[in-house]
Amino acid sequence: MFSAVSKSWWANILLYGLSLGLLLAALQFSQYRLLTQGNAEKWYIGLVAALFAAIGIWAGKKLIQKNDPQPAFIVPEFRPKEEVLERLGITPRELEVLEQMALGLSNQEIADKLFVSLNTVKTHSSNVFSKLGAIRRTQAIQRAKEMGLIA
């Protein structure tokens, strides 16, 4: 995720630099044609200014959009924070139960989905609660979300 953001960012920087370079080149080229006509300078300067303001707006827009970590449609791929899991001693199975809980499933439904008994799910969820310092499943979900354990 971090590398992806950096990559987009550098791509935009390069893109912006490239566009700026190209425009400067075009500018250099047309300079000799226009400057010979005498009083065209003020229009020329104005045009350049407007053009670069426009490209600036465009570039700024692009940069901001990429810097914002909330694209929401590109890659919502979620990864639970391993360090928190280890610190709290939450096992993989317990995390699975926690995830299903957050989806709004009952213990019985989780049991069916994970092919274990209802009692097993209860045990797992009880362990999760104590490890999260929660006394209700809604509380556990809330805490897990703000800790980055579940999406």
Partner DNA sequence: CTTGAAATCACCCGAAAGTGTGAGGGCTGA
Partner DNA sequence: TCAGCCCTCACACTTTCGGGTGATTTCAAG
Count CB neighbours of 29 within 10 A. Answer: 9
- Give me the phi and psi of 23, to 5 degrees please: -65, -40
- Return the CA Rg of the chain: 28
- Tokens of residue 120, six digits: 């097993």
Buried b (16+ CB within 10 A) or exposed e, 71-85: eeeeeeeeebeeeeb
Identity of the residue, 37 or 117, whose beta carbon is nearer to DNA in the bound complex: 117
By CB under 8 A, name the one of 23, 95, 114, 147 that touches a copy of itself. Answer: 23
Give me the least distance between CB of 107 and DNA, in Å please.
Answer: 3
- For residue 133, state whether it binds a copy of itself (rule: CB under 8 A): no
* Residues making contact with a copy of itself (CB under 8 A): 20, 23-24, 27-28, 31, 35, 41-42, 45-46, 48-50, 52-61, 63-65, 68-72, 101-106, 134, 136-143
* Residues making contact with DNA (CB under 7 A): 89, 91-94, 106-108, 114, 116-120, 122-126, 129-130, 135-138
